[in-house]
Amino acid sequence: MKKLLATIVAFFATVSIAFAAVNINTASQAELEKLNGIGPAKAKAIIDYRTKNGPFKTFEDVDKVPGIGQGTMDKIKKDVSLSGQSTGPAAAAKTEEKKADAKDAKKEPAKKEETKKDQKKADAKKDEKKADAKKDEKKAEVKKDDKAAKKEDTKAAAKKDEKKADVKKDDKKAEARKEDKGAKKEEAKKEDVKADAKKGEKKADTKKGDKKSDAKKDESKDEKKDAPKK
């Protein structure tokens, strides 16, 4: 029912537009303002031009009015006449334009809201990209740290191995020194044994000499005893 009523209203509005005409040479400012695209300033400009230059002879002369351009000419072309009585303004057309403007005005906040939503989505995507970039940076830093830690561990292990090798070398040197000391001790013992042997030989030789000396002494005593007395 509402759709039917709207259709009927639109039909009568169209009919009223078709038969309505404003005599641009005699219309008052209020009548001129009812034309689609004509406001107070343009209506006054039309009246001032008409007063100064006389009535418009052709519709194209309206284009000479300051502030009236081709766009306005196209809007008022069907609703103006150069003679006759004004039969009523094209109010319906202006009303339709206002409705259209109102619709556009209603749509504008929705568009703004959509734009805001799109902007929010774009910002959210940017934030996600930034977050992903930060994650990648952190991962890269962790990898670097891991590599650095591995290098340090490798260096530490190498140092440990070097220390172990040095300890082994020192142990070998110590063992070699012990062996040298043992060998020297053995040689010293041998030398002592030799020295003792030599001492023993010397003592034996001395004893032999003493015995020989004693034997000679005994022989000389015997000789003296056996010698004739004078």
pLDDT in tens, the chain (230 residues): 455 544 443 444 343 444 458 999 999 999 999 999 999 999 999 999 999 999 999 999 999 999 999 999 999 999 999 987 776 544 444 545 555 566 665 666 666 777 788 888 888 888 888 878 788 888 868 577 777 647 787 686 668 878 886 768 887 887 868 887 876 888 878 888 788 888 878 887 778 877 887 788 877 777 666 666 54
Q: Would 68 be classed as within a structural domain? A: yes
Q: Would 127 be classed as within a structural domain? A: no
Q: Would 110 be classed as within a structural domain? A: no
Record the pTM: 0.34
20 neighbors 88 (Cβ within 8 angstroms): yes
3-class secondary structure for the chain? CHHHHHHHHHHHHHHHHHHCEEECCCCCHHHHHCCCCCCHHHHHHHHHHHHHHCCCCCHHHHHHCCCCCHHHHHHHHHHEECCCCCCECCHHHHHHHHHHHHHHHHHHHHHHHHHHHHHHHHHHHHHHHHHHHHHHHHHHHHHHHHHHHHHHHHHHHHHHHHHHHHHHHHHHHHHHHHHHHHHHHHHHHHHHHHHHHHHHHHHHHHHHHHHHHHHHHHHHHHHHHHCCCC
Q: Would 205 be classed as within a structural domain? A: no
- 196: how many CB neighbours lie within 10 A of its CB? 10
Total number of domains in the chain: 1
Domain that residue 99 falls in:
2-104
Q: Would 15 be classed as within a structural domain? A: yes
pLDDT at 70: 92
Q: Would 229 be classed as within a structural domain? A: no
pLDDT at 129: 87
Q: CATH no. for residue 39?
A: 1.10.150.320
Burial class (CB in 10 A: 0-12, 13-18, 19+), 93: buried
Q: Would 60 be classed as within a structural domain? A: yes
Q: Would 71 be classed as within a structural domain? A: yes
